[in-house]
């Protein structure tokens, strides 16, 4: 494979996380690290963050579930703690609850409209792992779930007043105790061609 093809592929891989709006799972509130070696019985926080930008710069809530939970994780050793800024929270992203016993899923609502004209990050909550048994190559993914029948088939954020309509966004993932070929860090800005060329000198 030529260096040209490799460089173009690298540019696409590096640019994609910051050019789209999505809900991701990270090792930090700043939403920069999306894979980690956490060990077989980790005591860590996984941060669920809405990454806004482009056409989606405002929100007042979010709805999603997280798939890929390994055997041995339970609501007791994989706790869901909504962000302190959330005004209301229904459900758990990893496990069914009495509110919707057939499927995992969470709906989080903030008490005011959050606006990021230049793009920004909104912490939605944390999954606190308290010694939850975690084998190699666990991949957790943000996906959609239907709380009520009109909900769209996508993870979404809720727009602000006056209509509070759902806005589809992408679903990110995190890899625990595994390897990713292009690193674990999301760039804070889309890289330029000059930056990418330096990878191949």
Q: State pLDDT tens for residues 43-73.
A: 999 999 999 999 999 999 999 999 999 999 9
Q: What is the pTM of this model?
A: 0.81
By the 8 A CB rule, do 77 and 179 touch? no
CA distance 75 to 127: 10
Give the pLDDT score at 149.
82
CA distance 61 to 53: 15
Both tokens of 142, joined, read 């943000």
Question: Among 3.30.70, 1.10.10, 2.60.40, 3.20.20, what is the CATH number of 21-189?
Answer: 2.60.40
What mean pLDDT is reported for the chain? 84
Q: Which pLDDT tens digit goes with each residue over 72-86?
A: 999 999 999 999 989
* Cβ-proximal residues to 117 (8 Å cutoff; 6+ apart), any chain: 57
Q: What secondary structure letter does DSSP report for 200?
A: G
Domain limits, the chain: 21-189
Q: Which pLDDT tens digit goes with each residue over 117-153?
A: 999 999 999 999 999 999 999 999 999 998 888 899 9
């Amino acid at each position: 494979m030529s260096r040209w093809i490799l460089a173009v592929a690298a540019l696409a891989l590096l640019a994609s996380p910051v050019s789209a709006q999505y809900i991701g799972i990270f090792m930090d509130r700043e939403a920069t690290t999306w894979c980690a070696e956490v060990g077989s019985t980790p005591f860590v926080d996984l941060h669920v963050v809405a990454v806004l930008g482009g056409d989606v710069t405002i929100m007042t809530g979010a709805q999603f579930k997280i798939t890929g939970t390994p055997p041995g994780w339970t609501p007791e050793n994989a706790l869901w703690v909504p962000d302190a800024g959330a005004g209301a929270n229904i459900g758990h992203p990893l496990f069914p609850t009495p509110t919707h016993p057939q499927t995992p899923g969470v709906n989080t609502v903030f008490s005011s409209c959050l606006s990021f004209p230049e793009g920004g990050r909104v912490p939605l909550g944390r999954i606190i792992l308290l010694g939850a048994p975690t084998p190699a190559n666990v991949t957790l993914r943000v996906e959609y779930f239907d709380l009520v029948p009109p909900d769209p088939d996508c993870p979404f954020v809720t727009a602000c007043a006056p209509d509070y309509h759902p806005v589809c966004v992408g679903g990110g993932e995190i890899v625990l105790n595994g390897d990713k070929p292009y690193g674990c860090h999301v760039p804070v800005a889309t890289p330029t061609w000059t930056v990418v060329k330096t990878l191949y000198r």
